Structure 1
Amino acid sequence: MLYLLLLGPVVGLVLYAGSTRWFFPDLLPVTWTFETFWRQLSNARTQQAIGTSLLLGGVVTLLALVIALPAARTLGLERFPGRSLVLLLLFLPTIVPPLATGMGLNIIFLRLGLAGSLAGVVLVHLIPVLPYTIFALIGVFVRYDEGYEQQARTLGAGPWRILWQVTLPLAGPGMAVAALFAFLVSWSQYVLTLLIGGGRVITLPMLLFAAVAGGNPATIAALALIFAGPPLLAIALAARALTERTTTVGQQY
């Protein structure tokens, strides 16, 4: 039943994207063709939107990991006055409506000259992305054993060598999950991209919402399938990487 619930919408999109004539009460489309899907995939505007979305997702994910790693390490390992308040402040962007956040930031970004630019959209995407990234990594460092780093330091390893050969490998699975969250949240952003991008930064969600307003089911389904492709691929790659790591560790022990 779970697989049916998960795959049902995807099957419906495939049927709509591959149909040219599908009217009630027919159970399946009368005529099959994926011309609409290939036409959307080969469209220059769609390709540009895919490229922009992938670039945004990649840059935001990288920046989020760079910022979240030291923050999560401190919050996971240290106990200091005001820690609960910091966690609450980090959690706020996930409950504040994006429209309120975007409207306020739009005024600031206009004054800074970042509105309507790719850099401005990257910065605004970090607001909803960072809480998920930091909280995913905090779970890693709550169970983190600093003894490995102390042993490496005793054996003469410097800070950078400890980071690359001890810290990052130990935090690898958590970083994979955090990167997945960061990419998925950035990939699906619409309101913040529209407000800060000002119609100049066109991503795939913006094309999809425009198609929904147009009301062509085949076009909407084709764009929705294209939109769902990269996230599904990212989830599959992350799951495979985590599975391979778990298997390798299990074989070692």
Structure 2
Amino acid sequence: MRRGAGAGLLAVGLLAPLVPLLLWAVAGEFRYPALLPTFSGRGLALLGDAAVRSAVGTSVLIASSVAVLATLAGAAAGRALGLYAFRGRRAVQLLLLAPVLVPTLAVTLGIQVFFIRYGLTDTVAGVVLVQLIPTVPYASLVMASSFASFDPDVEDAGRVLGAGPLRRLRHVTLPAVAPGLAVAALFAFLISWSEYILTLLIGGGTVQTLPLLLFASIGSADLAAAAALSLVIAAPPLLLVGLTARFLTGDRAAVVGFGRL
């Protein structure tokens, strides 16, 4: 009973900030001291525009690609950091964290020259690559923690029993580190999904994602469009965190990442 009440309160607390966005999305006018706006469907109707649909598809493509690549790179780095003690390990950890310790704008301006030289600016591929800079460090840290509790002797046992590398990877290693992979992919997806500066500088305004459309709406003072786009941007993270929590805990009552309360 208390668990259900706690889950309900958390859900209300997390979803409450979305209520003003919903009101602005359906607002025609919303002037003080009115408690409710005059309703209009213009904000929500904008979500059907071709530009918005294209931005949604581009955002999903970029965030999914970044999540996969960052998780793969993070798994490789995390295995080395989590399982092995070697000279310079701390230095490697510091180097992995360096991109998130330095301001994003400074990092991007420093590498933009190389992206221009190799023709990666104004392309989806360039945006995906540049977004690996802030996502790989987080994925690496998550996977290092996951592999730190992994016993490599289990893989040796599979080898003794005749399992080849692929079978060991599929039946031994991946099930053991699956929660870490899920969390690393989730972090990478969420960081990419809401990224603005890197996308703008490398994409050059040609690669249109939802955050770029959102900031353009805010800059033009179109609050109805900005609120509607904010709801679209907020929906996938809430859904993914809830699904990840259910995967990690097996709790059908998992509420946006809190699992068993």
What TM-score, normalized by structure 2, do the two folds share? Answer: 0.89
**Aligned AA (2:22):** V
Residues 59 and 241 of structure 1: CA distance in aligned 2, closer, same or farther (over 3 Å): same
State the partner residue of 1:169.
175
Whether 2:43 is the aligned partner of 1:36: answer yes
State the partner residue of 1:200.
206
Q: Secondary structure at the match of 1:171?
A: helix
State the partner residue of 1:25.
33
Paired with 2:53 and 2:143, the residues of 1 have a C-alpha distance of 33
Q: Could you say what the CA RMSD is over the residues aligned between the two structures, in angstroms?
A: 1.8
Residues 236 and 3 of structure 1: CA distance in aligned 2, closer, same or farther (over 3 Å): closer
Paired with 1:208 and 1:92, the residues of 2 have a C-alpha distance of 29
Paired with 1:27 and 1:20, the residues of 2 have a C-alpha distance of 13
State the partner residue of 1:224.
230
Which 10-residue stretch deviates more, 91-100 or 3-12? 3-12
Q: Secondary structure at the match of 1:20?
A: strand
Paired with 2:92 and 2:145, the residues of 1 have a C-alpha distance of 16
Residues 85 and 135 of structure 1: CA distance in aligned 2, closer, same or farther (over 3 Å): same
Percent of counterpart pairs with the same letter? Answer: 48
Paired with 1:148 and 1:81, the residues of 2 have a C-alpha distance of 25
Give the C-alpha shift of residue 113 in structure 1: 1.1
Unpaired stretches in structure 2, ≥5 consecutive residues: 1-8, 253-261
State the partner residue of 2:6.
none
Q: Which whole-Å deviations, capped at 9, do the CAs of 1:73-128 have from their partners, x for residues lacking one? A: 11001000100011011111112111111111111111111111111111100000
**Aligned AA (1:170):** A
State the partner residue of 1:249.
none
State the partner residue of 2:97.
91
**Aligned AA (1:99):** L
**Aligned AA (1:191):** I
What TM-score, normalized by structure 1, do the two folds share? Answer: 0.92
Paired with 2:72 and 2:11, the residues of 1 have a C-alpha distance of 35
Paired with 2:121 and 2:131, the residues of 1 have a C-alpha distance of 13
State the partner residue of 1:7.
15
Paired with 1:13 and 1:233, the residues of 2 have a C-alpha distance of 18
Paired with 1:104 and 1:124, the residues of 2 have a C-alpha distance of 11
Query: Which residues in structure 2 correspond to 1:172-187 (within 5 Å)?
Result: 172-187=178-193
**Aligned AA (2:16):** G
Whether 2:128 is the aligned partner of 1:122: answer yes
State the partner residue of 1:250.
none
Which 10-residue stretch deviates more, 231-240 or 204-213? 231-240
Give the C-alpha shift of residue 40 in structure 1: 2.1
State the partner residue of 1:148.
154
State the partner residue of 1:70.
76
List structure 1 segments (4+ residues) > 4 angstroms apart after TM superposition. 1-5
Q: Which whole-Å deviations, capped at 9, do the CAs of 1:201-238 have from their partners, x for residues lacking one? A: 11110000000001122111001101111111111111
Q: Which one of 80, 95, 102 corresponds to residue 86 of structure 2?
A: 80
Which 10-residue stretch deviates more, 163-172 or 11-20? 11-20
Paired with 2:42 and 2:174, the residues of 1 have a C-alpha distance of 46
Unpaired stretches in structure 1, ≥5 consecutive residues: 247-253
Partners of 2:42 and 2:224 within 8 A in 1 = no
